[in-house]
Amino acid sequence: MSDAHSIERMLVTGATGYIGGRLVPRLLEAGYRVRCLVREPRKLEARPWFGDERLEIVTGNAEDSASLVAAMAGCDAAYYLIHSMMVAGAEYRAKDRALAEGFAPAAAKSAVQRIIYLGGMGETGSGLSEHLASRQEVESALASTEVPLTVFRAAMIIGSGSASFEILRYLVERLPIMVTPRWVKTESQPIAVRNVLHYLVACLDCPDTVGHTFDIGGADVMTYKEIMQIMAEARGLHRRVILPVPVLTPRLSSLWIHLVTPLSSKIARPLAEGLRNRVVCQNNDAARLMPQELFGVREAIQRAMGKARTHAIETSWSDAGPMPGDPDWSGGQVFIDQRDILIDADSDAVYRAVCRIGGAHGYYAADWLWRIRGWMDRFVGGPGLRRGRRNPENVGFGDALDFWRVTGIERNRHLRLRAEMKLPGEAELTFDIESLDDAAPRTRLTQTARFRPKGLIGIAYWCSVLPLHGIVFTGMLNGIKRTAQQLMNEDVPVPSAID
């Protein structure tokens, strides 16, 4: 970075989310110093850029004014990449507005030179959807002080692991014949995630972007129906039969998306609502001021698919959101199922085998039971198994593993998973690894399932699944044992998990 830069350090909010998690390393590569405001720093420990000397991580909450002012101290610019779509119902709109109303004054107190915000295209006019109206309110709140605001408004963002991309991929892969809402005929101008990131970084070195709003899009303008056919082509599938009908409302569409794709209806509904309006760039000011090669839809999809095939997905939509608080297992009625097994392998091999559970690897035994449980969860509004995992081998704090979340991890010693499936209670599954002082490598693996029921329904649930534990959990332990012993005997090293 040259001395001509007047901006040297910036604050990034939303660094654990989809865009923020990709923006931080690109800012570091450009030579900037970056401070991340996060609620849970451990969610960043698995990122390859975590140890960069120019990176500073501050623990705080964007809802707390004091945290914001302290985090912005000494920063020249602040990226606002926060949204509350995970909040139930329309409450996200009120929460997003309140967060933005607190962020702008904090920036003014901290003498930040500019705020940079990534919003959604189509945020003008009357009759806006709940989601787009919320984004408009956020934009207005961020512009309410003397701190200049730079706004980028994007349509669909195409990239490996993005919510829009996952909806598109799953709909095309699973439904050769689709009955769809009328909005599949609406024109859109999608943009590749790498093009979005270029604009977010390049604007720092472009004075003409200060205080201005830009529509950003890719090289193509096409309907969602055309985009789905390109996805089918990229996946090597036959053309999809798409039948638009007028009776599918955004609410019904979001429920259907929830059943067919990994996304919850809470996330799907705002996205479905936003697709009703034509979202095409009104000018090319961004491309003129910050030139780059803009990818078309076909190339953007191909690049995203390539990242997914090589397990090189940097961030995923499932990374975002607050970590649930750990339940206090010392109080109330708690059911415990604990089992252990001796394994002729060292603790590293056992740990790697444990960290493989979920996603394409499955659960080592009775995968058909897990699939049934996943489908049941989807039908009642839970995440089910389709969330999968970002990487088939690597595990980090906060990662989603199907309908589990990693809430505790210590290399070669411990892995704790909290259930995010719909349950009449709270559940977690832990694996504790103990090296034994034997002449040959030998390890004890202890698996503990805990469940705190909510009322009689919770107790009945535990009693109903208890007979299956012998099949599921014993089979899992035996499968981990076999895999760990195979890893010990392999000549080619297996990529280790990240803790």
Q: For residue range 357-415, what is the model confidence (pLDDT) as tens digits?
A: 988 888 998 888 888 888 888 888 787 777 778 788 888 888 888 889 998 899 999 99
Same domain, 311 and 372: no
Do both 311 and 339 map to the same domain?
no
Residues 211, 345, single domain; the answer is: no
What is the average pLDDT value for the chain, to the nearest integer? 85
More confident of the two residues 480 and 454: 480
Between residues 327 and 92, the one the model is more confident about = 92
pLDDT digits (tens, 9 = 90+) for 66-92: 889 999 999 999 999 987 655 444 577
Give the least confident one: 1-5, 39-43, 207-211, 492-496. Answer: 1-5
pLDDT at 80: 95
Does residue 4 sit within a domain?
no
Concatenating the DSSP letter of every residue in 380-404 gives TTS--STT--S-SS---TT-EETTE
Question: What type of residue sits at position 390?
Answer: R
Residue identified by tokens 């030139």 is: 291
Which residue, 291, 319, 347, sits at the end of a domain? 319
In a domain, 83, yes or no: yes
> Residue 72 falls within a domain, yes or no?
yes
Q: Are 300 and 396 members of one domain?
A: no
Query: Do residues 422 and 301 share a domain?
Result: no
| Sign of the torsion formed by the C-alpha atoms of 348, 353, 356 and 360 | positive
Q: Are residue 402 and residue 278 in the same domain, yes or no?
A: no
DSSP structure class, residue 315: -
pLDDT in tens, 216-249: 999 999 998 999 899 999 988 899 998 887 766 6
The pLDDT, as a whole number, for residue 360 is 84
Pair 253, 276: CB distance under 8 Å:
no
Question: 70 CB contacts (<8 Å, ≥6 apart)?
Answer: 58, 60
Quote the pLDDT of residue 271: 66
Q: Residue 242: inside a domain, yes or no? A: yes
DSSP string, 203-247: GGG-GGGTT-EEEE--S--EEHHHHHHHHHHHTT-PPPEEEE-TT
Judge contact between 38 and 59, C-beta under 8 A: yes
pLDDT attached to residue 273: 66
Q: Which of 216, 202, 4, 11 is nearest to 115 (CA)?
A: 11
Among 361, 316, 352, 348, residue whose Cα is nearest residue 497: 352
pLDDT tens-digit readout, 264-285: 666 666 666 666 778 899 889 9
What pLDDT, on a 0 to 100 scale, did the predictor assign at position 272?
67
Contacts of 482 by beta carbon, 8 Å cutoff, 6+ apart: none
Higher pLDDT, 97 or 34: 34
Q: Are residues 344 and 265 located together in one domain of the fold?
A: no
Are 271 and 390 within one domain? no
Least confident window among 26-35, 38-47, 209-218, 314-323: 314-323
pLDDT of residue 161: 81
Position 1 in a domain? no
Strand partners of residue 57: 36
Q: Which of 188, 212, 219 is CA-nearest to residue 285?
A: 212
CATH for 452: 3.30.530.20
Domain-embedded: residue 172: yes
Answer whether residue 437 shows pLDDT above 90. Answer: no
Instruction: Give the residue from 269, 294, 319 where a domain finishes.
Output: 319
Instruction: Please tell me whether residues 299 and 382 are part of one structural domain.
Output: no
Higher pLDDT, 376 or 214: 214
Q: Of all helices (H) and strands (E), which one includes residue 471?
A: helix 455-489
SS3 category, 116: strand
pTM over 0.75: no
Whether 312 and 449 map to the same domain: the answer is no
Where in the sequence is the domain holding 233, given as residue range(s)?
9-319
Q: How many structural domains are present in the chain?
A: 2
The reply to whether 280 and 392 lie within a common domain is no
Lookup: tokens for 408: 């505790």
CATH code for the domain of 287: 3.40.50.720
- Classify residue 16: in a domain, yes or no: yes
Last residue of a domain, one of 319, 352, 380: 319
Confidence of residue 173 (pLDDT cuts 50, 70, 90): confident
Query: Do 142 and 275 lie in a common domain?
Result: yes
The string of pLDDT tens digits covering residues 125-144 is 555 566 667 778 899 999 99
pLDDT for 294-321, tens place per residue?
Answer: 999 999 999 888 877 776 778 776 666 6
Q: What one-letter code names the amino acid at 272?
A: A
Residues 6+ apart with CB under 8 A from 111: none
Q: Tell me: the pLDDT tens digits for 85-105?
A: 554 445 777 888 889 999 999
The identity of residue 346, as a single letter, is: D
The pLDDT score that the predictor gives to residue 474 is 93
pLDDT level of residue 498 (50, 70, 90 thresholds): very low
- Domain membership of residue 244 (yes or no) is yes
